[in-house]
Amino acid sequence: MGTKLHRGLARLRYHQVLFGYRGTRRTPFMDKVEHLRAKFAARFGAGPAAVYRAPGRVNLIGEHTDYTGGFVLPVAIDLSCWVGIASRDDSNLVIYSENIGDSVEANFGPRSVRRSGNWSDYPLGVAWAAEKAGIRLRGANVYIQSEVPIGAGLSSSAALEVAVGYAYLDQAGLAIERSKLALLCQRAENEFVGARCGIMDQFAACYGRAGHALLLDCRSLEHRLVPLPADVQLVICDTIVKHELGASEYNVRRAECEEGTRRLAEALPGVRTLRDVTPAQLEKHRDLLGNTIYKRCRHVLTENDRVQKAAAAFESGRLGDLGQLMADSHRSLRDDFEVSCKELDVMVELASGQPGVLGSRMTGGGFGGCTINLVNAANSAEFQHSIAERYSAAMGLRPNIYVCEAAEGVERVANARSEEP
**Please, which contacts does 24-28 make with residues 24 or more away whose CB atoms are closer than 8 Å?**
24/401, 24/402, 24/403, 24/404, 26/78, 26/147
Would you count residue 155 as binding ligand ADP (CB under 6 A)?
Answer: yes
- Please choose, out of 3-11, 27-35, 143-151, 393-401, the segment that lies near ligand ADP by the rule CB under 6 A: 143-151
Are 147 and 112 spatial neighbours (Cβ–Cβ below 8 Å)?
no
User: Containing H/E element for 295?
Assistant: helix 286-316
Residue nearest to Mg ion (CB): 157
Count of residues engaged in binding ligand ADP, rule: CB under 6 A: 17
Instruction: Count CB neighbours of 392 within 10 A.
Output: 14
Phi-psi region of 297 (alpha: psi -120 to 50; beta: other; left: phi over 0): alpha
- Residue whose CB is less far from ligand ADP, 82 or 294: 82
Q: Which of 66, 121, 170, 201 is catalytic?
A: 201
- Residue whose CB is less far from Mg ion, 108 or 250: 250
| 57 CB-near residues (< 8 Å, 6+ apart) | 74, 75, 76, 77, 154, 155, 158, 159, 200, 201, 204, 205, 208
Are 232 and 376 spatial neighbours (Cβ–Cβ below 8 Å)?
yes
- Please choose, out of 30-38, 83-91, 150-158, 351-359, the segment that lies near ligand ADP by the rule CB under 6 A: 150-158
Q: Which does 99 bind (CB under 5 to 8 A by kind): Mg ion, ligand ADP, none?
A: ligand ADP
- Residue whose CB is less far from ligand ADP, 86 or 158: 158
276 is catalytic: no
Would you count residue 329 as binding Mg ion (CB under 5 A)?
Answer: no
Residue in 65, 99, 141, 157 binding Mg ion, rule: CB under 5 A: 157
| 34 CB-near residues (< 8 Å, 6+ apart) | none
Least Å distance, CB 321 to Mg ion, is 29
Site for ligand ADP in 87-106 (CB under 6 A): 97, 99-100
Would you count residue 60 as binding ligand ADP (CB under 6 A)?
Answer: no
Would you count residue 150 as binding ligand ADP (CB under 6 A)?
Answer: yes
Least Å distance, CB 414 to ligand ADP, is 19
Q: How many CA atoms within 13 Å lie on the side-chain side of 47?
A: 15
- Residue whose CB is less far from ligand ADP, 161 or 408: 161
* DSSP per-residue string spanning 145-198: EE-SPTTSSS-HHHHHHHHHHHHHHHHTT----HHHHHHHHHHIIIIII-----
What are the catalytic residues?
201
Contact residues for Mg ion (CB under 5 A)? 155, 157
Contact residues for ligand ADP (CB under 6 A)? 81, 97, 99-100, 119, 122, 144, 146, 150-157, 160
